[in-house]
Structure 1
Amino acid sequence: MRSSRTALAVALLGVALAGCGGTTTKPGGGEEPGPAEIVDGWTSCAEAAPRAGEVITVPNTATSAPAVPEPRIGRIDPAFTPIAVVLCGRGIQPGAGGGQEQTATERRAEETSALLAALRLPDQQADGEIACTLDMVIPPWLALVDEQGRWLRPYLPTDSCGKPRSEVTAVLAGLPWKTVATRTVGQIESPAAEAAGCAQRWADMVWAETRHGRPGPSVPATSPAAGPLRLCVYQVPPSEQGGDKPAGDFVYGGPLPAERQAGVLRGLSNRRAVPDCATPASRFAVLRSLDGAGPDRYVELDGCRRFLVAPPSGGAQLGQGDDALAKLLGPV
């Protein structure tokens, strides 16, 4: 379980893994930013920043967040005197009926002097001798509000790796934040997925692995004997089908009954040839050991009816399933 400090750190500074050294950038392509645009009449995060902090994309959101033109981010005009700072972000909380929901939060603090000093620091120059990490930092969505209700988006000075300076993040982490609004914006994990022990979303790895070339050889590395398995079945939306790594939404699952597991493992150990096929599956199954050991197994329940056995050590192998195998992977 996350501590409150960890949860606040996530809200303050989103971090997403990236394949290259993504960093924050200055407005204007690397030039010193100009003054921030001052806007009349602060209302709420829901109106000014409906998508702030959106690191995790969730399906079936309760409301569709509209695109909102945002004011120009920049340096703080010396004549602008803020009395409060507002942080718009996202969080995760247990759903009323189980599962997990994503929430949009609005937090407010009324101590601004230390933050102003940190925000007025210069950017640090890049240093080729410093090793920068390969993570992409998503800066927090901040607004400074003055006593007239005017507000602006302050520029966050960066360190030598192009990420918000530690002085800024340290001050933000230490402010006495008060949550003034919370609203549910989507579902991270449904009660049914939680009860089944399955993730809400999963990628169709059969399609992903065969999209740009077949794993080989096509002789499954599966023994008819294995420990108890968990079945998780996912539906792929039409918009995802045929993509490089189509994601499916949870439909049903749970521990696979022993009488069915024996037949499933026999089906996954056949040596049928895998014909060329380019029909995306609309449903696929994921089979994983209850104790976390052994290979992951993926089965297309329609389309090409292929399956993939992926040992932890690598060397995924492709096989050809059939209607009988798909029936054994029906609702548990």
Structure 2
Amino acid sequence: MRSSRTVLAVALLGMALVACNDTVTTPGGPAKPDPAQIVESWTSCAKDAPRAGEMISVPSPETPAPAGSDPRIGYIDPAFTPVAAVICGREIRPGPDGGQEQVATERHAKEITSLLAALRLPSQQTGGNVACTLDMIVPPWLALVDEQTRWLRPSLPTDSCGKPRAEVLAALTGPQWTTVDTRTIRQVGSAAAEAAGCAQQWTDMVWVEARDRRPGPPGQAAAPAAGPLRLCVYEVPESIQGGDKPAGDFVYGGPLPADRQAGVLRALSNRRAVVDCATPATRFAVLRPLDGTGPDRYVELDGCLRFLVNPPTGGAHIGQGDDTLAALLGPL
């Protein structure tokens, strides 16, 4: 079972570390942040914080969120009396039919005495000879609610390393929190991808590497030998084909049979010149060593039929495949 601290770090992503509380701030910072904006009538995380926990660019004091994108975070106005707290977040859970899915969660707490005490602590001075760890703690999307169901986003006091104070983290992971709602956002990994040992999505790196290169002479030949390889094949949605980093969805895969692997490696060691072609692939294959050592190999299964060999030490090169190579990478 995961610890509550792990759940906090994984499940409640989505907010950057916010401004300090209203007593001590970092050198050169404001003496006191603005009060938190009070919003009328809390409804639910789905309505009031639909994007809480998304892996998106997050606001910071230097790059604030666009106007109207989220209520202003700040200190708790003395005229506002919280009686409950809400945490909106996301986490990865096993799917009902296997694989994994991303789930949005809403947690409530009515016993918030320790939380309020922690939120009213001062932020500690940063800098000086303080030893800080490199781990990043991303605070959750937290709201306080009063008896009239008005709500606000409180700022979190930080320690001398600029991270939420230990008292705040303890209050955010205590037993008083109850999950009142969950909703599935998207599938992260299907049962088929999990069984094949493949990721649910992958980027077509042949396209990424080739789009800014001009066709040239043959690349260096790849060594026609390798340990056992895993094949993962992805299909790129039409709407993003030809984009900067087209991501494909898993179609099929698994350990590559030895007889096929021998033919694939021979095809990848050819010295043909790369054709002048700008047709995006609708499907591509990823070949990765089962033991995790050696280069990753990418093959366009249609379109330009190019391949990419990408050693872990650098020096990736693009080569020219053909229909025979694509056929060797068909369904297992």
In structure 1, give the amino acid aligned to 2:220: V
Partner SS state of residue 331, structure 1: coil
How far the C-alpha of 1:168 sits from its partner, in A, is 2.3
Contact 1:25 1:162 in 2 (8 A): no
Contact 2:281 2:300 in 1 (8 A): yes
How far the C-alpha of 1:133 sits from its partner, in A, is 7.5
Contact 1:14 1:137 in 2 (8 A): no
Alpha-carbon spacing, 1:123–1:217, altered in 2? closer, same or farther (3 Å): farther
Q: Is 1:24 matched with 2:25?
A: no
How far the C-alpha of 1:321 sits from its partner, in A, is 0.3
**Structure 1, gaps ≥5 residues long:** 16-22, 58-67
Partner SS state of residue 240, structure 2: coil
In structure 1, give the amino acid aligned to 2:53: G
Identical-residue share of aligned pairs (%): 72
Alignment partner, residue 291 of structure 1: 291
Contact 1:11 1:90 in 2 (8 A): yes
Partner SS state of residue 272, structure 1: coil
Contact 1:12 1:172 in 2 (8 A): no
Contact 2:13 2:90 in 1 (8 A): no
1: CA distance between counterparts of 2:239 and 2:203? Answer: 14
Alignment partner, residue 222 of structure 2: 221
Contact 1:109 1:175 in 2 (8 A): no
Alpha-carbon spacing, 1:323–1:130, altered in 2? closer, same or farther (3 Å): farther
How far the C-alpha of 1:201 sits from its partner, in A, is 0.8
Alignment partner, residue 246 of structure 1: 246
1:127-161 superposed Cα distances (whole Å, 9 cap, x missing partner): 37668778876431111112332221112234566
Partner SS state of residue 105, structure 1: strand
Partner SS state of residue 280, structure 1: coil
**Structure 2, gaps ≥5 residues long:** 21-28, 58-67
2: CA distance between counterparts of 1:190 and 1:158? Answer: 39
**Superposed counterparts of 1:145-294, under 5 Å:** 145-159=145-159, 162-174=162-174, 176-213=176-213, 218-223=219-224, 225-294=225-294
Contact 2:8 2:140 in 1 (8 A): no
2: CA distance between counterparts of 1:324 and 1:159? Answer: 61
Alignment partner, residue 48 of structure 2: 48
Partner SS state of residue 54, structure 1: coil
1:154-205 superposed Cα distances (whole Å, 9 cap, x missing partner): 1223456654444422331335321111111110001111121110011112
Partner SS state of residue 318, structure 2: strand
In structure 2, give the amino acid aligned to 1:329: L
2: CA distance between counterparts of 1:252 and 1:171? Answer: 45
Q: Is 1:110 matched with 2:116?
A: no
1: CA distance between counterparts of 2:190 and 2:208? Answer: 25
Alpha-carbon spacing, 1:123–1:242, altered in 2? closer, same or farther (3 Å): farther
In terms of mean alpha carbon deviation, does 212-221 or 174-183 score higher? Answer: 212-221
In terms of mean alpha carbon deviation, does 93-102 or 76-85 score higher? Answer: 76-85
